[in-house]
Amino acid sequence: MILITKNNDMAQKIAEKLDTKNPIKPVFVHENRVALAGVKTLPESTLNEISQDIVEIITNHHQAIVSSRDFHPHDTIIKTNHSIIGGNNFVFMAGPDSIESAEHVLEMGRQVKAAGATILRGGAFKPRTSPYSFQGNGEVGLKAHRAAADVLGMDMITEILDTRDVDLVDSYTDIFQVGTRNMQNFALLKALGQKRKPVVLKRGMSATIDDLLNAAEYIAAGGNHQIMLMERGIRTYDNKYTRNTIDVSAIPVLQSLTHYPVIADASHAAGVAKFVTPLALAATAAGSQGLMTEIHDDPAHAFVDGAQALTPDAFAKLANKVRQIHDIVAHDN
Ligand code: PEP
Digit-coded pLDDT (tens) for 267-320: 999 999 999 999 999 999 999 999 999 999 999 999 999 999 999 999 999 999
Digit-coded pLDDT (tens) for 7-19: 878 887 887 777 6
Q: Is 174 in the pocket of ligand 1 (CB under 6 A)?
A: no
Cβ atoms 212, 240 nearer than 8 A: no
Q: Is 122 in the pocket of ligand 1 (CB under 6 A)?
A: no
Digit-coded pLDDT (tens) for 101-138: 999 999 999 999 999 999 999 999 999 999 999 999 99
Q: Which amino acid is at 112?
A: V
Measure 75 CA to ligand 1 centroid, in angstroms.
25
CA proximity to 203, closest of 224, 170, 167, 228: 228
pTM for the full predicted model? 0.92
**pLDDT at residue 234 is higher than 90:** yes
Residue 235 to residue 298: CA distance in whole angstroms: 28
Which atom of ligand 1 is least distant from the CA of 180?
8
Which atom of ligand 1 is least distant from the CA of 179?
8
C-alpha distance from residue 143 to each of 94, 100, 103, 140, 265 (Å): 18, 12, 12, 5, 24
Measure 191 CA to ligand 1 centroid, in angstroms.
20
Cβ atoms 189, 204 nearer than 8 A: no
Pairing of the two strands 84-85 and 33-37: unpaired
Q: Any idea what DSSP says for residue 183?
A: T
**pLDDT at residue 35 is higher than 90:** no
Does ipTM exceed 0.95? yes
Q: Is 271 in the pocket of ligand 1 (CB under 6 A)?
A: no
Measure 72 CA to ligand 1 centroid, in angstroms.
29
Which atom of ligand 1 is least distant from the CA of 97?
3
Q: What is the pLDDT of residue 99?
A: 98
Which atom of ligand 1 is least distant from the CA of 305?
3
Q: Is 202 in the pocket of ligand 1 (CB under 6 A)?
A: yes
